[in-house]
Amino acid sequence: MIPAKFDYERADSVDEALELLGRDDAKLLAGGHSLLPLMKLRLAQPALLVDIGRIEELAYVRDAGEQLAIGALTRHHDVANDPLVQEHCPILSHAAGLIGDPQVRHRGTIGGSVAHGDPASDLPTVLLVLDAEFAVRGPGGETTVPAAEFFRGLFETALGPQDILTEIRIPKLGAWKGWSYQKFNRRAQDWATVGVAAVLRRDNGTIEEACVALTNMGLTPLRAKAVEEALAGSSADDAAAAAEKADDATSPPSDTNASADYRRELARVLTRRALEEALSR
């Protein structure tokens, strides 16, 4: 389909984008790989598109001491291939490399993926499991929102209509050496039917702390709290039993890809696989 009529402005800086966003019914355009399909289906009909896709100051990966700082306009391909991300946050580079196909990864941005708030997206789950923070600039200045408070509902986030997500800050994994992201999809370029992200801190055979999060098991990316509680202080041998709790407190959708029950089963199986892989690293 053809999108409804809209105006187009290109912003060359964050300040300019903020000013343009002040206009009625304006929407940011980053990589366009989620927004443009919605516009073609007429599920989104903004009056003005503010193109931030060429703002150089928002595309970077920086070492920020205990954290990595990633600009919101960093493309999936660059997240997947950046040496700093590969060294300090390999679960993120791995997951970014699983998104869509090369075309999608060369256009889509980490900020667009987070701001879009699609529970089937891979990076929000990984950023949730890592306790990332999101830097947001809006009419009232800059705020920082933890991932646990950012995803509010289906395609709904803490971002207001005049806010710009500028930076994603991620704690370096350090002692959290064991990690895995398991994605189940029918075709290589598809979104996850279900995905599971896990990072573990362990001391020999004991799991000291575990963080587990789920893709496409509810209206937002979810922490698998029952699994995390079952694993804390447990032995590696208990991982399979803990994985059986993966679908506790979830409300997976039923759609043409999978029924809710099938997704529940997938969540349990993928969590077991994720824990096994994380424990093997």
Query: What are the residues binding ligand FAD (CB under 6 A)?
Result: 27-35, 72, 99-100, 104, 108-109, 111-113, 115-116, 121-123, 159, 164-165, 189-191
164 bridge partner residues: 137
Q: Which is nearer to ligand FAD, 245 or 257 (CB)?
A: 257
Q: Which of 116, 122, 133 is nearest to 32 (CA)?
A: 116
Give the nearest distance from C-beta 125 to ligand FAD in angstroms: 9
Give the CA angle between residues 215, 280, 170 to the nearest 5°: 50
For ligand FAD, which is the closer residue by CB, 140 or 205? 140
CB of 38 to ligand FAD, least distance (A): 8
Cβ count near 184 (within 10 Å): 20
Q: At its nearest, how many Å lie between ligand FAD and the CB of residue 270?
A: 15
Q: By C-beta, is 99 or 200 nearer to ligand FAD?
A: 99
Q: In the complex with ligand FAD, which residue's Cβ is closer, 208 or 253?
A: 253
Structure-block tokens of residue 101: 């196909």
For the stretch 41-48, contacts whose Cβ atoms lie closer than 8 Å and that sit 24 or more positions apart, written own/partner, are 41/1, 42/1, 42/3, 42/4, 45/3, 45/4, 45/6, 46/6, 47/6, 47/7, 47/23, 48/6, 48/7, 48/8, 48/9, 48/20, 48/23, 48/24
As measured in angstroms, the least distance from the Cβ of 172 to ligand FAD is 23
Closer to ligand FAD at the Cβ: 29 or 267? 29
* Min dist. Cβ of residue 241 to ligand FAD (A): 30
Per DSSP, what are the bridge partners of residue 201?
209
